[in-house]
Amino acid sequence: MSATLKSVSEAGTSIWLDDLSRERMIPNGKSRNLATLIAEEYVVGVTTNPAIFSASISQSSLYSDDLKALAAQGHNVESIITELTTADVAQACDLFIPVYERSAGVDGRVSIEVDPRLARDTSTTVSQARELWAKVNRPNVLIKVPATVEGLPAIRTLIAEGISVNVTIIFSVERYKAVLDAFITGLEERHNKGLPVSDIHSVASFFVSRVDTEIDARLKSHSHSDAPSLLGKAAIANARLAYQHFEEVLSSQRWKKLESAGASIQRPLWASTGVKDPAYDPTQYVIDLVAPLTVNTMPEPTLIAVRDQGTYKGNTVVGHYETSLQVIDQLASIGIDINEVATKLENEGIDKFIKPWLELIAAVEAASRQ
């Protein structure tokens, strides 16, 4: 077992796998078995997204029989997809129950996302999140809801109803602040009604590598003399400043009141942690974002890179706030606004999930006719 993965975990950064398929839940499947990753690689949770399920269902024969049976029973295409994906998530949840129980509900979590086409639709997001929560029917599932402006009231409503949520597609500190506020407001509404808050857990998925990809492209075409020195620095600086706000909220009287009632804080989750630039250290979005009460969800190649190449450096977030702010300020001084970048990436992020979802719908529709 990896000393680096062990150290990262013990420092308070939970390791989750950003992938799920039936191939991972059978012996000798095409992908490394999930139970093995739990036992050997310190994996204590799983995240999924529309692109992951599109690839899983389209590329594996393990779904064929169920797909055909559901079609024969009269299910429409979207109902078939819901049945297939929720079955996978429920099975993964069952695999993680020992982790869930050992961590008192903090880890052992498996996420499933609402239809990405609903990212700008508050009421339908809430309705589908309720349906997925009931359909999976496991205490350790998290329902993924996008952190769009329209998603914020949905987050508050779902938390107030007792539904645990993974808030996704966060690119800016400002939006992260709004997400954490929506989470706390939902808990307050629930607590004020005399309802328990101790069984609700949440993570806020703050995307990392895509920030560098976008900003680096702008820097490489920039004429300012400072531009080259800023390459590859924006994403980690941005994430560290989000954690600074997390610490401020964690120590606030507002949060302390909920904590005394048994509430668990919404943890920052570092997402999009596979490097996009092959010139970069493949472990940097893990090793340089280690801090207590965080999650890092990794594609398997990143997990293996950390295991085999990563050098543990301790807490690499706290104590770096001033230098991180300097990076963001330097970018602003040469005309690169992190909030404008975040808005662009949010819109692109939604589209990047809608495209594979539509491809999955087309593939399932074609298969159901055979």
Domains of the chain as residue ranges with CATH = 3-368 (3.20.20.70)
230 DSSP assignment: G
Residue 177 appears among annotated catalytic residues: no
Is the separation of the CB atoms in 223 and 203 below 8 Å?
no
Per-residue pLDDT of the chain (370 residues; tens, 9 = 90+): 689 999 999 999 999 999 999 999 998 888 899 999 999 999 999 999 999 999 999 888 999 999 999 999 999 999 999 999 999 999 999 999 999 999 999 999 999 999 999 999 999 999 999 999 999 999 999 999 999 999 999 999 999 999 999 999 999 999 999 999 999 999 999 999 999 999 999 999 999 999 999 999 999 999 898 899 999 999 999 999 999 999 999 999 999 999 999 999 999 999 999 999 999 999 999 999 999 999 999 999 999 999 999 999 999 999 999 999 999 999 999 999 999 999 999 999 999 999 999 999 998 998 887 7
Distance of CA 68 to the CA centre of its chain: 31
Is the separation of the CB atoms in 255 and 184 below 8 Å?
yes
Closest CA to 267 of 242, 284, 241: 242
Marked catalytic residue, from 68, 144, 193, 313:
144
Alpha-carbon torsion angle 285, 205, 103, 159, nearest 10: 170
User: Which stretch of DSSP H or E encloses residue 267?
Assistant: strand 267-271
Q: For the full predicted model, state whether its pTM sits above 0.85.
A: yes
> Which token pair is 318?
């706290």
